[in-house]
Amino acid sequence: MEKERRGFRRIGNKRLVAAIYVLLRLAVILVMVAQVFNRNYENVFLCVLTLVLFTLPALAERRLRVDLPDTLEIIILCFIFAAEILGEIRAYYVKFPYWDTMLHTMNGFLCAAIGFSLVDLLNRQERFSIRLSPFFMAITAFCFSMTIGVLWEFGEFSMDQLFLMDTQKDTVITAFGSVMLDPTMTNTAVPVTDIADVIIVHSDGTEQALGLGGYVDVGLHDTMEDLFVNFVGAVVFSTVGFFYVKSRGKGRFARRFIPEVVEEPPEEGGAAPAETEG
């Protein structure tokens, strides 16, 4: 009773979540041990980061005094594992072309759900006099999701520029237009088509043909694709959330992603409500 009063997770109702949490945590620990033996300390850091991220749902429940739906919590845990362990360490981003697209779509959906939940929780608080309509709640959730997506791309760009990484994956394109190639300097885009290859000239003067069959775009196409699928995920949940609030919480699907406030039980020894005789 004491833990429940303080807003701790009700694990008794979350056996499936607890089982998945233990399995994923065990898998991460095994991967981390293997990376230690391989002396790949960057991947060891990713494993430690994953274990820390796994604790965020429980921390959010305790701090915010909310109960995360099982579906939302399971998806968050699987998302973290898919992004960090499978995507980075197991190189699924390279092995499966649409792995990154799938995760960004899911990220847009989840962030919209989180943004919608935050507004919904504020709407239910009696001490706030402002109440947003279902339409503005959906707009706020959408904007929240897109903002998180943009900040994520800022982080990827920073890592690529500062540490010469490739988080914004390259794209091979065969045509583009550029005003830099306009000899008249009139801001006219000059089309460049049928690009066959890219040749790298090293500092010692040697040339290396990459044999890619096109021009290497370093991140722009990947970023725009990520933001677009984030947009799709955000629109989907914002629409679902709109009709959920419009129908006064009768939607079963949206309810699986929207946290509920944990009502604190009355203090032990408190005065019981007086009974009246009929």
Q: Does pLDDT of 269 surpass 70? A: no
When comparing pLDDT for 129 and 227, which is higher? 227
CA distance linking residue 2 with residue 111, whole number of Å:
32
pLDDT in tens, 38-97: 999 999 999 999 999 999 998 988 887 888 899 999 999 999 999 999 999 999 999 998
Q: Does pLDDT of 130 surpass 90? A: no
Burial annotation 128-146 (CB, 10 A radius, 16+ → b, else e): eeeeeebeebbbbbbebbb
What is the value of pTM for the model shown?
0.83
Alpha-carbon distance values, 194 to 173, 176, 198, 213, 215 (Å): 9, 9, 12, 9, 10
Q: Which residue type, as a one-letter code, is found at position 197? A: D
Alpha-carbon distance values, 20 to 8, 57, 72, 111, 274 (Å): 19, 13, 13, 21, 45
User: Tell me, what's the pLDDT at 265?
Assistant: 55
Domain locations in the chain? 2-151+223-261
- State whether residue 176 is helix, strand or coil: strand
What is the dihedral angle through the alpha carbons of 209, 210, 212, 215, rounded to the nearest 10 degrees? -80
